[in-house]
Chains A and B, each alone.
Chain A
């Protein structure tokens, strides 16, 4: 299957700081990437859909000014959590859509565990 990387895998930061998470598709081009968050023992929650070269589409209830998404190239999308607070502590996971070869599947990065003190 296709490979998606995510960096960093784990980050601890102080309240009020901003954290940037990178998501890269390593062996395919992804015009669309997705950002999810997941709390312990809970379901995946889609935060936003990131399209290369255009503005991200945010799900209802997700603050676009707090969770800044940039999809500057076909292999890279970034999520910046601005002015992080303890309630933003969560597992953030990106996925990339691979539409090549007649398939149309999503592959996930390994996730970033964010802890805000």
Chain B
């Protein structure tokens, strides 16, 4: 069974620090990887996607993919209280359906 694992948290990070969120997946054939952010009571919002090994940067966000080790991470630089949310990792194996992690709750403390 294809699985995506995330630490449920909460992960507490001081404001201005780097928040590091990790995700591992079981299907070695997975092709696409996504990070979504979900505020309480709201629907998920796409932050980033990554397809290739290495880093991908977008503003304060950096996604890192290591297919050999089967993990994908999300770094948030200069963390702000508004970054406090649940971060969902999603992985697409060979077909189009996403496999979702349970999410990591991130708390940024002022």
Contact surface of A with B, Cβ cutoff 8 Å: 1, 32, 34, 43-44, 46, 49, 91, 93, 95, 97, 103-111
Contacts and interface: CB of A to CB of B under 8 A. Distances in A.
Closest 6 CB pairs of A and B: A111-B43, A108-B43, A43-B102, A93-B43, A108-B44, A110-B43
Contacts of A107: 46
Contacts, number: 39
A111 B49 contact: no
A105 B46 CA distance: 9
Interface of B: 32, 34, 36, 41-46, 49, 88, 90, 92, 96-98, 100, 102-103
Majority secondary structure of chain A interface residues (helix, strand, loop or mixed):
strand
A104 B43 contact: no
Given A43-B102, A46-B100, A108-B45, 18 more contacts: A1-B46, A32-B96, A34-B97, A44-B88, A44-B100, A49-B97, A91-B41, A95-B44, A97-B96, A103-B49, A105-B46, A106-B46, A107-B46, A108-B36, A108-B46, A110-B42, A110-B43, A111-B43
